[in-house]
A and B are shown apart, each in its own frame.
Chain A
Amino acid sequence: MTKTSYQKSPYEYGFSTPEISVFKTKKGISKDVVKIISGIKNESDKMLNFRLQAYQYFIDQSLPTWGPNLSDINFDDIFYYLKPSEKEGHSWDEVPTEIKNTYDKLGIPEAEKQYLGGVKAQYESEVIYGSLLKKLSDQGVIFCGMDEALKKYPEIVWQYFGKIVPSDDNKFASLNSAVWSGGSFIYIPKNVHVDLPLQTYFRINSQKMGQFERTLIIADEGSFVHYIEGCTAPIYSTDSLHAAVVEVFVKKNARVRYSTIQNWSTNVYNLVTKRAQIDEDGIMEWVDGNLGSKITMKYPSNILAGRGAHAEVLSIAVASGIQHLDAGAKAIHLAPNTTSRIVSKSISLNGGRSSYRGLVYISKGATNARSKVVCDALILDKKSRSDTYPVNKNSESSAFIEHEATVSKIGEDQLFYLMSRGFSQNEAESMIVNGFVEPIVKELPMEYSLELNRLINLQMEGSVA
C-alpha cells in the first residue's frame, strides 16, 4: 500500500438513500488508485499486475469515435471504488438497513421468495448480499461474487478471466479490467440444469460513481442456466459511468440465457462489453432490454467456435429525450453449421435516438453457416431518430446471411382504430408499443415482463407530459 489515502466517508447523504460507504477512493484514476483497490481486496500480485497492465491499455487507447459522443465523460471526476459496508452479508438480516430499504423498493427479497433461486445484489462496487439455494450448491453450482470467486476458486477464474474480453479489447474493457469490483461468478457443472433463473441487481447510489462489475459465467458441457441482471440508479444531477465486462463460456451442448433489464437513470453512461464463446452444439441467448441511461453502447457478441453452435440475441431499446441508445449484436461464425439470429427492436420518442449496430462475420470454412438479422424500429414523433449500421462479412460461399429492416411510425390507422374503441391517444400508443415489443417481452419470466411493460409505459407517459 502507498501513501495515497482513501477518504473515509460514512453516512454522506445523497439525493436518495443515504450513502453509507465505509470508504471510497479519491476521485479520478491513477496507478495508485488501481493499487489501492487491489490492496483493499487483498489481491494476489497476479491480479494487481493484470489491473496495472489494463490501466496502461486504458491510458493508451483513445475514445471510440464511430458511435455516440463520449467526449463529455470526465474520467478525473469519477469515484472508481466505493466500499459500502465492511463485508458481504450472507443472510438478509445482516444487510445494513439503508441498503435494505433500497433493495426493498427494488423488490429483491420478493423476487427471491418467488423464484427460490439465487440472488446477488451489487450496491456500488461490492456485492452486499448473496444467497444460494442449498440444492444448487449441492449440485456443484457456484454462484458468488467475483471477488469471492477469485479468492476461493483462483484456478477456475484464471482459466477464463479476460480470455474472451482481453484487457486491451477496448478502452472501456481496459478501464473495467483496471478497476473492476464485484459482479457475479457462475459455474454450472456438467449436465446440471438450473431451472430457476439466477438473478443479480446492480445499483449506483452515489453521485459521480463508477460501477465496474465483472461477470463470468461458465456453463460446462450439457448444462443450462438462465441469468438475469437488473440495473437501476437514482437520478443525480451529475453523470455516472457504468462499464461492465461480461464473459460467458458455453461448452459443448450447454445452453445459457442471459437477460438484462437496464434502467439506469438518464445521466449514466452505460458502456458494456459482453461476449460469449459457444462450443459445439451449444446455445447462447441474450435477452436485452435497454430503457435507461444517457448513452448506451452495448453489442453482445457471440463467438460461434464449435460446429452447430447457435446464438440468439433479442434486444429492445427505448430511447426518449436526451437518450442515445446504440445497441446491437455481433455473431462471429468460425465453425460449420453454426447459426445465429439477431432480433433488434427499438423505439424512439420525444427526441430520443436509437441505433442498431451489428456485425455478422462468417469465416472461410464455416460451411453452411446461417445468420438472420431483423431490425424493427418504431419512431413515435418527428423529433426522434433511428439508424441502423449493419455490417455483414461472408467469406464462405455455402453460408447465408439474411437481413431485414423495417422502420415504422405509429400508424395513423392503428392509432385511430384503437381510439375509436374508446382508448385515449396515450393508451392507444402504449398498446401499440407494447405490442411491438411483445415478441421479446414474452421471452422473459412473468415478473420481468411485467416490469419491462411498466417501465415502457412510464416512459410513454413521460413523453406526453
Chain B
Amino acid sequence: MIKLKNISVSVDKKSILKDITFDLKPGQIIALMGPNGSGKSTIALTLAGHPNYVITSGQIILDKNDITKFSPDKRANLGIFLSNQSPVAIPGLNIKSLLWQIFKKFHPDKKLSLSEFRSWLSLEAENLGIKSELLDRNLNEGFSGGERKKMEVLQMLVSSPKYLILDEIDSGLDVDALKIISLRIQKLAQDLNSAILIITHSAKILDYLKPNQVLVLDKGKIKTTGDSSLIQKIESLGFNS
C-alpha cells in the first residue's frame, strides 16, 4: 500500500500541492479528477519521483518504506509505474531492446529466451493494435500521441507493476483503442492485484476501469472525496458544483 501523508509539493519554489493525504491499496482503483492546473499530474510525477517536484512536507510510505526521498529508479523497482501524459522520444533507442532490458530488470528469475520474449511481445502488441513494424523503431521517434500511449502500456505489461499511475492515458486514443487498452490494463491489475491511480478528464475510461474512490482536486488540494457516483455528478454539473 502507498500512503501519502500530508504531502506538499513545490516546483521551482512555487507551491503546487498542499497537504495531500490518501491511500492507494492493492486492488483498488482511484480516479483523480479536477480542472486544468489543479495539480493532478503533479501528484503523478511526485509519486514517480521526478526531481523537479520537491516534497516540502509530508511523507510517502510504500508498505513499510519511507520512499519520500527515493530516486525514480528505486521507486520503479518497488513497483511504481508511471504512464506519462506526454511520453518523451528517445532518439536511437530501439523499442524491442528497451522492452527486453526492462523485462530482464523486473523478471530476473524468469527463464525466457530473447526469441520467446519477442514472440510474447508480438502477441501483446498485436492485441493492443500496435503495428509490428513500430516495435523495430526507436522509442516514440515520430510517433503519434496514441502510439506513444500504447508504448506506455507495453512497458507497463513488461514491468508488471504493483502501482499503476495512469496520467491521461486516454488522451490521443480513439474509442476502440481506449476500450482495448483499458481492458488489458484491467486484466493486468487483476492478475497482479495492482492498485491503479487514474488521472483523466473524461469519464469514458472509467466505464472500463471502475473506480472505488474518486478524488477531486482543486488548486492543489483535495476538494471532494467520494465513490463513483461523483463521476456522474461532475459529468453533468462540472467541477464547480
Contacts and interface: CB of A to CB of B under 8 A. Distances in A.
Contact of B52 (A412, A423, A425, A437): A412
Contact of A436 (B87, B92, B98): B92
A185 B139 CA distance: 43
A368 interface: no
B159 A422 contact: yes
B92 A422 contact: no
B138 A414 contact: no
A422 B102 contact: yes
Interface range, A side? 20 to 34
A435 B51 contact: no
Nearest to A442: B92
Contacts, number: 71
Interface residues of B, number: 30
Nearest to B50: A416
Contact of B49 (A411, A420, A432): A420
21 contacts: A411-B88, A414-B88, A416-B72, A419-B71, A420-B48, A420-B49, A420-B73, A420-B80, A421-B102, A421-B159, A422-B102, A422-B105, A422-B159, A425-B73, A431-B93, A432-B90, A435-B90, A435-B93, A436-B91, A436-B92, A438-B94
B73 A419 contact: yes
A424 interface: yes
A438 B82 contact: no
Interface string A401-436: 000000000011110111111111100100110111
Interface string B132-158: 000000100000000000000001000
B77 interface: yes
A434 B76 CA distance: 22
A456 to B, nearest CB: 12
A217 to B, nearest CB: 30
Nearest to A411: B88
Contact of B92 (A416, A419, A425, A434): A434
Most chain B beta-carbon contacts within 10 A, residue among A411, A413, A416, A420 = A420
A398 to B, nearest CB: 33
Contact of A422 (B77, B84, B93): B77
Classify the interface of chain B: helix, strand, loop or mixed.
mixed
Contacts of B98: 421, 431
Contacts of B91: 435-436, 438
Interface string A359-377: 0000000000000000000
Contact of A432 (B84, B93, B159): B93
Given A422-B106, A423-B105, A414 B73 contact: no
| Most chain A C-beta atoms within 10 Å of own C-beta, residue among B49, B88, B90, B106 | B90
A439 interface: yes
B72 A420 contact: yes
B75 interface: yes
A155 to B, nearest CB: 47
B155 A435 contact: no
B165 to A, nearest CB: 10
Q: Please indicate which of the listed interface residues B50, B92, B105 has the most CB atoms of chain A within 10 Å of its own CB.
A: B92
Contacts of B159: 421-422
Contact of A420 (B76, B105, B138): B76
A367 B88 CA distance: 42
Given A412-B51, A432-B93, A419 B72 contact: yes
A438 B76 CA distance: 27
Interface in B67-120: 71-73, 75-77, 80-82, 84, 87-88, 90-94, 98, 101-102, 105-106
A435 B72 contact: no
Given A412-B52, A435-B138, A417 B84 contact: yes
Contacts of A435: 90-93, 138
B168 to A, nearest CB: 16
A417 B105 contact: no
Contacts of A422: 73, 76-77, 102, 105-106, 159
Contacts of A432: 90, 93
